[in-house]
Chains A and B, each alone.
Chain A
Amino acid sequence: MGAIDNTAGVLAVEGGGGGGFWEDAYPVIPHPGELIVGIISFAILYVLYKRVVVPRLETMLAERQRTIEGGIERAEAMQAEAKAALEQYRAQLADARNEAAQIRDQARAEGQQILEELRTQAQAESARIVARGEEQLATARQQVVNELRGQIGTLAVQLAGQVVGESLADDARRSGTVDRFLDELDGMTAAGDGAGGATRVGGSSR
């Protein structure tokens, strides 16, 4: 309690109210010395703050603001970069997809073509085989017919000779009669269901 001690001391020294003008003056009258000291102190501190302290603080604040803004910019740049990379990746993916689809289409078309070729080839082969079969069949038939013609003629002549006797022994007449008979027979088959077969045999043999 320095104030109280000091007050008491001062009061003791002054003798309790025997002081000069300034002791008894109204407290609202400024003491010139104190006013001057106040102004000087104020001015010194003001100049110091204006020249040094506040500029230092403002510089720091500006730097802080810059740092914050720089950080934001960096983050934005990184985001943009990431976005670009994503875009690129998507584009690549789309390209790859397109390419794959193309390859697939191409492969499908090629397969189709090969299939077509194989099919025509097989058809041709089968046609060829069928044709050869029919040819062989026709040849065999012709052979059979020729053979049969001979045998039937002989048989018929024998049969007729036996039936008629020896009237038909004459070769010339015999062969003419047989041929005529067989021609009639042929004509009968041609008019009936044997006509188609005969035509086809003729076509394929050509």
Chain B
Amino acid sequence: MTDGPEGPSPVHHQMVAGAHLREGWDALGTLLSAMLVFGLPAWWLSETLDQVWVLPVALVLGMATAIATIWVRYADRGP
């Protein structure tokens, strides 16, 4: 149990620690946030307008936005 500088980490560490783990959970969080951001107003809207289709459309839109955002954000923008 020493605190020395970490050498090349084994596979377990690369999967569990490291930036990839964070990016994975970030992407998942973005997906869920998009569902919330689009879903809650759409739900309220569908209740007031009495229109059923608003919520699913908004959810699909939210999902698309989230995927596009993740795409742009984590894409390798080249050198």
Chain A residues near B (Cβ < 8 Å): 61, 64-65
Contact = CB atoms under 8 A, between A and B. Distances in A.
A65 B4 CA distance: 11
Contacts of A61: 1
B2 interface: yes
Contacts of A65: 2
Contacts of B1: 61, 64
3 contacts: A61-B1, A64-B1, A65-B2
Interface string B1-14: 11000000000000
A176 B26 CA distance: 159
SS class of chain A's interface: helix, strand, loop or mixed? helix
A63 to B, nearest CB: 12
B17 to A, nearest CB: 20
A64 B2 CA distance: 10
A36 B2 CA distance: 38
B25 to A, nearest CB: 22
A174 to B, nearest CB: 137
Contacts of B2: 65
B39 to A, nearest CB: 16
A45 B58 CA distance: 44
A65 B3 CA distance: 10
Nearest to B4: A65
For the complex of A and B, 3 pairs with smallest distance between CB atoms: A61-B1, A65-B2, A64-B1
Nearest to A68: B2
A61 B2 CA distance: 8
A77 to B, nearest CB: 22
B61 to A, nearest CB: 26
Nearest to B2: A65
B3 to A, nearest CB: 8
B12 to A, nearest CB: 22
B4 to A, nearest CB: 10
A57 to B, nearest CB: 10
Interface in B1-41: 1-2
A67 B2 CA distance: 12
A68 to B, nearest CB: 8
A123 to B, nearest CB: 86
A200 B24 CA distance: 127
